């Protein structure tokens, strides 16, 4: 890449802001703009900013098919991720079929349905319970657990109301953990090079209405065989998507129903940055934002982890003043950090081991949430 490359990031929010900073620190003219509302709006952005690089930091479903098609037609602009990767990652049916049938990746048993009757037939054939989600990748919206055939209609309408006209049903397996492999794909003279960050564990506290804070930690402990399997799955799916940059590969750790041996299942892949990678701002020498920017610009990368770390990601309190007053107490916790924006509140901490890092991050989050709760109750 030439000096002072102009980079245009499509998207808004904390992830985009951090990514823009990483690009700027590498000497580029980088800026983020809201997702354009059509191909003509995209072309207007291209004409106005004249970028050499466009980085999409928004799901293809949010972009719209016409914008993705226009991105694919740009001749003098490098687009990351590739439009083909964007399309595939946004289509859960195409992605899961590719992973299972073409690549032979282990997945949980799944079926697709295009009507209430088809979903009923799946439920009767596969047995219950099943999870039902939109076939379009809608980032968790429209999800439900189907435990009675009588509720098929409700599950169907919840899924399609979130997007699309087809749904995916999955068998519920005994999952010991959910984790993410951040996978960096670069190009060398000898061909593509793939590097992996240490696995990131995550879970959401579902005891809260609407889902609670997202807890993150790195590294997530895996056996050597499970780690090898996770890296193999990540490399194969990322290789199929192609292009360069950082990919977020979500995986499940379960057990073989017959032997009881550990089994790693492919869940999905995002060719864009996600909240799971926030923890790398403290755990790694290069954060997910730095890695993505470097890979796109063709610069050397490394995935070295410098400390175990953990975080909690939640929605910020509407009372910004109360949270600000709590910052001194929150940041007094050893090795802690806080990221506050209108989009998210991220409590972060490092420690000599993951257990203590998780405890510290939880303490930081608790101080901030307690201050907000006191402010709301007036006590």
Do 195 and 250 belong together in one domain?
yes
Q: Of 122, 139, 171, which residue constitutes the final position of a domain?
A: 171
Instruction: Tell me what the pLDDT averaged over the chain comes to.
Output: 93
The answer to the question of residue 218 being in a domain is yes
Do 253 and 355 belong together in one domain?
no
Do 288 and 315 belong together in one domain?
no
The answer to the question of residue 302 being in a domain is yes
Relative orientation angle of helices 320-331 and 354-377, to the nearest 10 degrees: 150
Do 275 and 322 belong together in one domain?
no
Closest to 158 (Cα-Cα) out of 110, 207, 119? 119
The answer to the question of residue 103 being in a domain is no
For residue 3, how many other CB atoms are within 10 A of its CB?
Answer: 6
The answer to the question of residue 94 being in a domain is no
The answer to the question of residue 89 being in a domain is no
* Number of domains the chain contains: 4
Q: Of 62, 80, 98, which residue constitutes the final position of a domain?
A: 80
The answer to the question of residue 97 being in a domain is no
Do 202 and 285 belong together in one domain?
yes
User: What's the pLDDT score for residue 209?
Assistant: 43
User: What's the pLDDT score for residue 319?
Assistant: 83
What's the domain range around 76? 6-80
The answer to the question of residue 92 being in a domain is no
Do 297 and 197 belong together in one domain?
yes
Q: What is the pLDDT of residues 235-267, one digit of tens each?
A: 999 999 999 999 999 999 998 767 778 899 999
- Residue 199 contacts residue 180 (beta carbons within 8 Å): yes
CATH number, domain containing residue 369: 3.30.310
Distance of CA 106 to the CA centre of its chain: 20
Q: What is the pLDDT of residues 47-94, one digit of tens each?
A: 999 999 999 999 877 898 999 999 999 999 999 999 999 999 989 999
Do 335 and 283 belong together in one domain?
no
- Average pLDDT, stretch 363-379? 80
The answer to the question of residue 158 being in a domain is yes
For 144, residues 6+ apart whose C-beta sits below 8 A from its C-beta are: 131, 132, 133, 154, 155, 158, 159
Task: Answer whether residue 44 shows pLDDT above 60.
Answer: yes
User: What's the pLDDT score for residue 2?
Assistant: 45
């Amino acid at each position: 890449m030439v000096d002072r490359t102009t980079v245009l990031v499509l998207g808004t929010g904390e992830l985009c802001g951090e990514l823009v900073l990483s690009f700027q620190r590498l000497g580029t003219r980088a800026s983020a703009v809201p997702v354009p509302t059509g191909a003509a709006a995209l072309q207007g952005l291209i004409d106005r900013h004249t970028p050499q690089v466009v980085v999409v930091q928004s799901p293809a479903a949010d972009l719209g098919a016409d914008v993705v098609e226009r991105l694919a037609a740009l001749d003098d602009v490098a687009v990351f991720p590739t439009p083909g990767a964007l399309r595939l990652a946004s289509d859960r049916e195409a992605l899961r079929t590719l992973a299972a049938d073409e690549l032979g990746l282990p997945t949980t048993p799944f079926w697709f349905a295009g009507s209430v009757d088809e979903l009923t037939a799946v439920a009767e054939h596969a047995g219950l319970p099943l999870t039902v989600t939109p076939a379009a990748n809608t980032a968790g919206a429209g999800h439900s657990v189907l435990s009675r055939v009588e509720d098929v209609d409700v599950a169907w309408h919840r899924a399609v109301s979130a997007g699309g006209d087809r749904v995916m049903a999955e068998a519920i397996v005994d999952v010991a953990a959910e984790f993410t492999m951040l996978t960096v794909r670069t190009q060398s003279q000898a061909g593509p090079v793939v590097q992996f960050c240490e696995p990131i564990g995550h879970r959401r506290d579902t005891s809260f209405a609407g889902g609670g804070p997202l807890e993150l930690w790195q590294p997530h402990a895996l056996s050597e065989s499970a780690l090898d399997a996770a890296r193999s799955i990540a490399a194969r799916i990322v290789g199929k998507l192609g292009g360069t940059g950082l990919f977020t590969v979500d995986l499940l750790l379960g057990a073989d129903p017959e032997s009881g041996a550990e089994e790693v299942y492919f869940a999905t892949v995002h060719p864009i940055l996600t909240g799971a990678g926030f923890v790398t701002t403290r755990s790694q020498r290069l954060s997910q934002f730095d890695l993505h920017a470097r890979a796109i610009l063709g610069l050397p990368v490394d995935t070295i982890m410098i400390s175990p770390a953990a975080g909690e990601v939640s929605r910020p309190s509407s009372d910004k003043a109360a949270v600000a007053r709590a910052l001194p107490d929150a940041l007094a916790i050893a090795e802690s950090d806080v990221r506050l924006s209108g989009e998210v509140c991220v409590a972060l901490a490092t420690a000599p081991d993951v257990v203590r890092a998780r405890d510290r991050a939880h303490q930081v989050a608790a101080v901030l949430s307690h201050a907000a709760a006191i402010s709301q109750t007036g006590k």
